[in-house]
Amino acid sequence: MATQTTVSETGNSFVATAYRQVAPEALFAYPITPQTTIVEEFARYVANGKVKTEYVTVESEHSAMSACIGSAAAGARTMTATSSQGLAYMWEELPIAAGLRLPIVMVNTNRAIGAPINIHCDHSDVMAARDLGWVILFAENAQEAYDHTIMAIRIAEENDLPVMPSLDGFITTHSISRGEIMDDETVTKFVGVHQPKHSMLDSDNPTMVGGFSTLGNTYMNIKKALRDAIDASLPSIKSIGDEWAAQTGRSFDHVETFGMEDADEAILVLGSAAGNVRAVTRKLRGEGRKVGMVKLRTYRPFPAAELADVLKGCKSVAVLDRSDSYGAIAGPLAIDTMAALFKAGVDVKVRPYIYGLGGADVKLEFIESVYDDLADLSDGGLNPGLTYLGI
Q: Which region, judged by CB under 8 A, interacts with another protein, from 45-53, 213-221, 249-257, 339-347? A: 213-221
209 binds another protein (CB under 8 A): yes
For the CB of residue 105, give the shortest distance to another protein in the complex, in Å.
16
205 binds another protein (CB under 8 A): yes
232 binds another protein (CB under 8 A): no
The sign of the CA dihedral 345, 347, 348, 349 is positive
Closest to 374 (Cα-Cα) out of 355, 346, 388, 353: 353
Report the C-alpha gap between 136 and 159 in whole angstroms: 13
Closest CB to another protein among 197 and 343? 197
- For every residue of 251-265, DSSP letters joined together read ---SEEEESTTS-SE
With CB under 8 A as the contact rule, the residue among 201, 225, 246, 328 that binds another protein is 225
Q: Which region, judged by CB under 8 A, interacts with another protein, from 203-211, 300-308, 335-343, 381-389? A: 203-211
Q: Are 174 and 10 in contact (CB under 8 A)?
A: yes
Residues touching another protein, count (CB under 8 A): 24
> At a CB cut-off of 8 Å and minimum separation 6, what does 53 contact?
23, 24, 25, 26, 27, 42, 46
Report the C-alpha gap between 271 and 311 in whole angstroms: 19
218 binds another protein (CB under 8 A): yes
214 binds another protein (CB under 8 A): no
Q: Are 254 and 220 in contact (CB under 8 A)?
A: no
With CB under 8 A as the contact rule, the residue among 47, 206, 282, 312 that binds another protein is 206
Which residues are paired to 269 by β-bridges? 295
Closest CB to another protein among 100 and 266? 100
Q: Which region, judged by CB under 8 A, interacts with another protein, from 2-10, 77-85, 210-218, 252-260? A: 210-218
Closest CB to another protein among 192 and 206? 206
Q: Which region, judged by CB under 8 A, interacts with another protein, from 6-14, 83-91, 207-215, 369-377? A: 207-215
With CB under 8 A as the contact rule, the residue among 208, 215, 382, 391 that binds another protein is 208
Which residues are paired to 352 by β-bridges? 319
Q: Are 101 and 161 in contact (CB under 8 A)?
A: yes
> At a CB cut-off of 8 Å and minimum separation 6, what does 377 contact?
315, 316, 349, 351, 383
Residues 77-116: x where in contact with another protein by CB under 8 A, - otherwise, as a string: ----------------------xxxx--------------
57 binds another protein (CB under 8 A): no
Closest CB to another protein among 86 and 133? 133
Q: Are 12 and 37 in contact (CB under 8 A)?
A: yes
Residues 149-188: x where in contact with another protein by CB under 8 A, - otherwise, as a string: -----------x----------------------------
For the CB of residue 207, give the shortest distance to another protein in the complex, in Å.
5
Strands 26-29 and 78-82: parallel
Closest CB to another protein among 48 and 214? 214
With CB under 8 A as the contact rule, the residue among 3, 57, 221, 239 that binds another protein is 221
The sign of the CA dihedral 239, 244, 246, 248 is negative
Q: Are 69 and 96 in contact (CB under 8 A)?
A: yes
CA 133 from centroid of its chain's CA atoms: 13
Where on the chain is the footprint of another protein (CB under 8 A)? 99-102, 160, 197-198, 203-209, 211, 213, 216, 218, 221-222, 224-225, 228-229
